[in-house]
Amino acid sequence: MLCEKCQQNEVTVHLTDIVNNTKREYHLCRDCARSHGVSIKATLENFKNLTIPEFYSPPDATEEESTVSATSQDCPDCGMTYARFRKEGKFGCSRDYDLFSDSLDDLFGKIQPSSQHKGRVPARFHGAMAQNLEIERLRQEMEQAAIDEDYEKAAALKSQLKSLEQGS
């Protein structure tokens, strides 16, 4: 059977569209299916697992998505990928928080008031958290010194910060 659109290639995609109760069937080759707006992912993977927006995601977006998941690192501890995390919405282990940290501020911004923990701290972290707060305080002071053009003070604070951070 030849593709009904280009009449050249073999049909690989059988698509049933129901729009406003009108059923329409398409028999297309891969390339024409793409140009029809059907994600190539749907023809390659088990499309039952795809959500409707994923199914109809334009081919460009699919390619973009695959580049993203190729560049973001899979977790060596639990095997979680960023794509899977975004799809299922659940982390696999503690390490994922560091691996995906670049995108987390954005995500947490939508559901949480801030991405800095302000609640209780386990006893074993008391020292580290106190130091974090001290580093943050010095950094703000340094920035203020730079704004005030007090470069001597800023330099002193910078070296103080450096030794604190190296010590940690």
Q: Is 104 in the site for other proteins (CB under 8 A)?
A: yes
Residue 70 DSSP SS3? helix
Q: Single out the segment in contact with other proteins by CB under 8 A; choices: 9-17, 30-38, 74-82, 137-145.
A: 74-82
Q: Is 125 in the site for other proteins (CB under 8 A)?
A: yes
Using CB under 8 A, which of 2, 44, 70, 93 touches other proteins?
A: 93
Q: Is 76 in the site for other proteins (CB under 8 A)?
A: no
Q: Is 114 in the site for other proteins (CB under 8 A)?
A: yes
Using CB under 8 A, which of 48, 60, 118, 159 touches other proteins?
A: 118
In sequence order, which ranges of 10-74 are alpha helices (DSSP H)? 30-35, 40-44, 52-55, 59-71
Q: Minimal CA–CA distance to 40: which of 88, 32, 48?
A: 32
Q: Is 127 in the site for other proteins (CB under 8 A)?
A: no
Q: Is 142 in the site for other proteins (CB under 8 A)?
A: no
Minimum CB–partner distance for residue 83 and other proteins (Å): 15
Report how far apart, in Å, the C-alpha atoms of 154 and of each of 62, 131, 135, 151 are.
Answer: 48, 19, 14, 5
Which residues lie closer than 8 Å to 62 by C-beta, 6 or more apart? 39, 40, 41
Separation CA 15–CA 5 (nearest Å): 13
Which residues of the chain form contacts with other proteins (CB under 8 A)?
77-80, 89-94, 97-98, 101, 104, 107-108, 111-125, 128-129, 132
